[in-house]
Structure 1
Amino acid sequence: MTTLPPLPMSRPKLTALAREKLPCSPRTTPRSELIKEKDDIDHYLEVKFKGLSKEEVAAYRNTYKKNICVDMLRDGYHKSFTELFTLMEKWEALREAARVRSVFWLQKPLEEQPDKLDHFYYYLTRAEVAERKKYFEDVYDNLYALACYFNNSEDKWVRNHFYKRCFEIAELIKIDGGKKEAEAHGHMGLLFEEEGKLLDAAEHYEAFHQLTQGRRWKDETGRFLNLLACESLLRTYRLLSDKMLENKDYTQAIRILIKASEIAKEANDKKMEGEASYYLGLAHLAAGELDTALEDLNTYSEISTELEDDLSLGRAYEAIARVLQSQGEMVEAITYLKKFVKLARNNFQKLDVVKASTMLGDIYNEKGHYNKASEYFQQAFDTTAELTNVPLMDETKVHYGIAKAHQMMLTINNYIEAADLSSLNSLLSWKETRSSISPDPVIGDPRRSTMEKI
């Protein structure tokens, strides 16, 4: 958001007094005192300003909003007045609709926000003057200043109104090589993206990207517009691909992510290129194209290693392990997951530790290595206890309990098969106490029974 300088507006004494009396003043004044103040004001005006005109007295008594509107009309800014009046009507309609839906609506009426009214007056009238002279760049700059000023959660609809106005004006500017038009496409893309209209957003971002190709233009923060266009387009393509994957439209999702990967390479940004490879690999994994998925994820892993980005490298290891697990390559999958756990611990990423430990526990549990499974599930449970994440703690507790039950079942089964005196004593002791049973000391093949030994 652009921070605008204070408006260079000088106010006469009466206007300054009028602002002090606005409803937005922090003090609440009883009605009796207001009537008394009005009498005092009338007496003050009569004594001190005998030559004051009726218009000046009315200007002091009217609301600030009405004075702004009167000034616009009196000074000949009829177009600015029309636009401001339309915005004020919509403002009140939105406030009323919000008040009906919720009693906690805190947005103030526009007449209680004189600073916003000042900005409307200052920039709208300057834009109108510039438009009369066909100085469209100045028109754009003034409208964009208003869009930046209203770039907050409360007034985003006002910002969007001026984004649309900027877009209309930008198409008339022919002397800057298309920079304003490119910026306007970027703003319109953001507008549609926030509204969830991703196809419309992608259309504007594509135009933004096309207009900035080969240009060294920068925005007000010093960022290259082409890089900003690439980031915006990649973000939108990824959101579109997520919706396609949800609908199992794998071909379209992969196609749009391939476009995203090409744009990332064109931007010459390694981190962006790695992210594009990661999401493309996940799409291939969802489509069951495991070898292609592995190639893309290995590319992401190599880029993350080159950038020394441990968090991205951990994500790469986790995704590669999922592909290997789908291919039945459990030993390699375990190797990558152990690397993932180590990176997550080194970087204090406890949620990643839980994820990797749970995946390792699942693999060992499936292979029948219940001791190992129990160890990793306990590790996941202990980490969730540190996080005090109750839902996740309950989930890992269930996994841990199942692994412990499998471990106990295997031990009891081995004791039963052994059928020697020591094993029977252990079983009887467990049956009496129902506490944890001592693990079978024999590792590997099930214990042979006493008859088999003989």
Structure 2
Amino acid sequence: METPGSSLPGLSSRIKRQKSRKSVQATDKSARSLSKEDIAKFINSRKQNICVGLLQHGFHRSFSELFLLLRLDQERREGAEINSALSLQTPLEEQHAKMESIGLHLSRAEQAQRDGRWPAAYEQRLHLGTYFTAEGEDLWLSLHFYHTCTDAQEDGCMRHATEGRACLAELYLQQGQLDKAREQAELCVQMADEGGWLDSSGRSLPRRARESLWAIYSRQADARIKAGDPYGALELLHLGYTTATESENKHIEGEAAYQLGLAYYSVGNYDTSEQYLNTSMHICSTTEDFDGLGKAYKAVAKLCESKGNINTTIQLLEALVDISRSKSLHHHLVDACLCLGHVYTNRRQYDQARESLLQGYNVACDIGDVTLVQKAQVSLASAHTRCIVGKYSADVESTVPAALSRLLAWKVSRGLHEDSDHAGVCDY
């Protein structure tokens, strides 16, 4: 007689064999259901699958363009210096998400072209340009796709061509290629004025183009100034001021007027400089651009000092101190106090100078700006020294008994405390 459970081992083995047969049958069925395409997805690389997919669906132009970009990427990296940032970049063909995005939007653009929906085709290319702008190492891809938009000649696509040029101007400016940026921006202004379009984000294209063009003229003017060509810079700054005025952007118009004022000051044309600086002050005051207003105030104060109008200089700097304090413009407040201290020092008004410089030093300490703190320390020490020397010189030249007493007291104090931090201070 079998004991309870004596048949369980045999039953268990039969169950295992049945499960094994079912598993093999399921595997065979799964293998039979896989197509060649499914198997290829596992065997081939992602690059191969994307390219084959484009060809299988008839997107031959998209395949050719993607293949071209992959080749250009390889050539760029191979031509770069060893261990440079470019040579160490991950190859595009290994960045699967980016390749899939390119394939997807290019195929959509090609399908839109087949259907005669040209604006939709260029929208896809603008999308790709924007997508790769966010990646610093992929700006070359953005340039490629934006350039393909500028070729648009079909009806309803001029807005896309104009926006493409606006994007190119901004990218070239970002890369410091100012001549290319200027070329694209000037063409963009012409095209935008004809259409008056809005870009994909709803911004006015004429205004956007002029804002970029003003920035380009400004950068080119800076280059001329560094090259020792102030009059060439003035010509560019005038173009920039006109462009800024036409943009109806008061912020850059105020900045453009400020830059012209500084340029005319640098060539000694104080009257014209004052004209543009006052214009900048008026615009910044109207728009409540207090940072720009602070810069304009300092520039006009410096101009008045150069012309010998010291009282006006002091009034302007004191007004700037009040504005900076009320608007919490700490850096402008420090600069205004230091400038005011220097003016008072030059006028030998040493007590007022030390008061202004000390105020600037305290504010610099409060905001924790080490550079401003050091600058204020030097100015404050210089003013204090001039104050001591000035009083000492006056006593040396004086015949009043009190002056002689101060000199004798200082001599005694210097002898007693020559190793002290307070040596030589006495009444001076």
Tell me by how many angstroms 1:134 deviates: 5.8
For structure 2, list consecutive stretches of 5 or more residues without a partner in the other structure: 1-23
Task: Work out which of the residue numbers 372, 387, 401 in structure 2 matches 1:392.
Answer: 372
1:248 equivalenced with 2:224 (yes/no): no
Deviating more after overlay: 425-434 vs 378-387: 425-434
Answer whether contact 2:344 2:352 (CA < 8 A) is retained: yes
- Residue in structure 2 matched with residue 63 of structure 1 by the alignment: 45
Tell me by how many angstroms 1:68 deviates: 0.7
CA distance in 2, matches of 1:351, 1:56: 65
- Residue in structure 1 matched with residue 417 of structure 2 by the alignment: 433
1:405 equivalenced with 2:385 (yes/no): yes
- Residue in structure 2 matched with residue 37 of structure 1 by the alignment: none
CA offsets, 1:175-223, max 9 Å, x none? 45x3222212212212321221212212221121122226542122222
Read off the aligned partner of 1:188 and give its amino acid letter. Answer: L
- Residue in structure 2 matched with residue 154 of structure 1 by the alignment: 137
CA distance in 1, matches of 2:250, 2:105: 41
Read off the aligned partner of 2:342 and give its amino acid letter. Answer: D
- Residue in structure 2 matched with residue 10 of structure 1 by the alignment: none
Answer whether contact 1:144 1:163 (CA < 8 A) is retained: yes
For structure 1, list consecutive stretches of 5 or more residues without a partner in the other structure: 1-41, 441-454
Tell me by how many angstroms 1:298 deviates: 1.0
Residue 150 of structure 1: SS of its match in structure 2? helix
Q: How many corresponding residue pairs? A: 396
CA offsets, 1:374-402, max 9 Å, x none? 22222222222223233332232122111
CA distance in 2, matches of 1:83, 1:50: 36
Tell me by how many angstroms 1:292 deviates: 0.4
1:166 equivalenced with 2:188 (yes/no): no
- Residue in structure 2 matched with residue 414 of structure 1 by the alignment: 394
- Residue in structure 1 matched with residue 13 of structure 2 by the alignment: none
CA offsets, 1:100-156, max 9 Å, x none? 236996x55545543322211211122233445664323311211111221222322
- The structure number with the bigger radius of gyration is 2
The alignment's TM-score, normalised by the length of structure 1, stands at 0.79
Tell me by how many angstroms 1:86 deviates: 2.8
Task: Work out which of the residue numbers 70, 73, 78 in structure 1 matches 2:60.
Answer: 78
Tell me by how many angstroms 1:163 deviates: 1.3
- Residue in structure 2 matched with residue 315 of structure 1 by the alignment: 295
Q: How does 1:259-270 map to 2 (within 5 A)?
A: 259-270=239-250
Read off the aligned partner of 1:353 and give its amino acid letter. Answer: L
Answer whether contact 2:122 2:149 (CA < 8 A) is retained: yes
CA distance in 2, matches of 1:244, 1:71: 53
- Residue in structure 2 matched with residue 258 of structure 1 by the alignment: 238
CA distance in 2, matches of 1:55, 1:263: 58
Q: 1:99 to 1:80 in 2, by over 3 A?
A: farther
Deviating more after overlay: 48-57 vs 223-232: 48-57
CA distance in 1, matches of 2:36, 2:194: 62
1:299 equivalenced with 2:273 (yes/no): no
1:128 equivalenced with 2:116 (yes/no): no
Answer whether contact 1:166 1:184 (CA < 8 A) is retained: yes
Answer whether contact 2:162 2:188 (CA < 8 A) is retained: yes
Q: CA RMSD in A?
A: 2.9
- Residue in structure 2 matched with residue 423 of structure 1 by the alignment: 406
- Residue in structure 1 matched with residue 9 of structure 2 by the alignment: none
The alignment's TM-score, normalised by the length of structure 2, stands at 0.83
CA distance in 2, matches of 1:284, 1:217: 37
Task: Work out which of the residue numbers 184, 205, 229 in structure 1 matches 2:209.
Answer: 229
Q: 1:102 to 1:110 in 2, by over 3 A?
A: closer
Answer whether contact 1:130 1:138 (CA < 8 A) is retained: yes
1:378 equivalenced with 2:358 (yes/no): yes
Answer whether contact 1:63 1:111 (CA < 8 A) is retained: no
Answer whether contact 1:277 1:300 (CA < 8 A) is retained: yes
Higher normalized helix content (fraction of residues): 2
- Residue in structure 1 matched with residue 319 of structure 2 by the alignment: 339
Q: 1:340 to 1:222 in 2, by over 3 A?
A: same
**Which of the pair has the greater relative contact order for Cα pairs under 8 Å at 6+ separation?**
1
Residue 365 of structure 1: SS of its match in structure 2? helix
CA distance in 2, matches of 1:330, 1:44: 97
1:87 equivalenced with 2:69 (yes/no): yes
Answer whether contact 2:211 2:247 (CA < 8 A) is retained: no
CA offsets, 1:406-428, max 9 Å, x none? 11112222343345464245313
